[in-house]
C-alpha cells in the first residue's frame, strides 16, 4: 500500500529529472526554480514527518497554515502534491512508477 512518504520519495526522484530539464532550457527559469524549491521543501518534510494516509490532507493544510496566509505558492505546491497523491491512489501504473524511483531518461542529465 502506498504511503504519503513513499509517494513523496518518488516525487523527489521525479523532481530531480525535472531539474535536469529546467537547466537545459534556453529561457529564464528563475520562476521554475522557485516553485521546484518550494515543492522540494514540502516533499522532504513529508518524508521526514511520514504522516499517515488518513492524516495527509490535514498535514498539508497545517503545513500551509504554518507558513502564513500570504504564502499562496506553498498552498499551490501543497495542492499539486495532494492531487498527485489522489492520482497515485487511483492509478496503479503511476503509483508503481513512483515506488520504483520514478525512472526517467532525463535523470542522467541533472
How distant, in Å, are the alpha carbons of 8, 15, 46, 102 from that of 53?
12, 22, 11, 20
CB burial class (10 A; 0-12, 13-18, 19+) of residue 8?
buried
Q: What is the pLDDT of residues 61-108, one digit of tens each?
A: 999 999 887 678 899 999 999 999 999 988 888 778 877 777 766 555
Residue 19 has pLDDT above 80, yes or no: no
> What CA–CA distances, in Å, run from 4 to 9, 15, 49?
9, 16, 10
42-62 tens-digit pLDDT: 999 999 999 999 999 999 999
Amino acid at each position: 500500500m502506498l504511503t504519503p512518504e513513499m509517494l513523496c520519495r518518488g516525487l523527489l526522484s521525479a523532481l530531480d529529472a525535472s531539474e535536469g530539464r529546467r537547466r537545459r532550457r534556453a529561457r529564464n527559469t528563475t520562476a521554475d526554480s522557485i516553485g521546484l524549491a518550494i515543492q522540494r521543501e514540502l516533499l522532504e518534510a513529508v518524508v521526514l514527518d511520514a504522516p499517515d494516509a488518513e492524516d495527509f490532507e490535514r498535514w498539508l493544510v497545517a503545513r500551509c497554515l504554518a507558513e502564513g496566509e500570504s504564502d499562496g505558492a506553498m498552498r499551490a505546491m501543497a495542492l499539486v502534491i495532494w492531487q498527485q497523491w489522489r492520482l497515485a491512489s487511483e492509478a496503479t501504473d503511476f503509483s508503481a512508477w513512483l515506488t520504483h524511483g520514478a525512472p526517467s531518461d532525463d535523470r542522467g542529465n541533472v
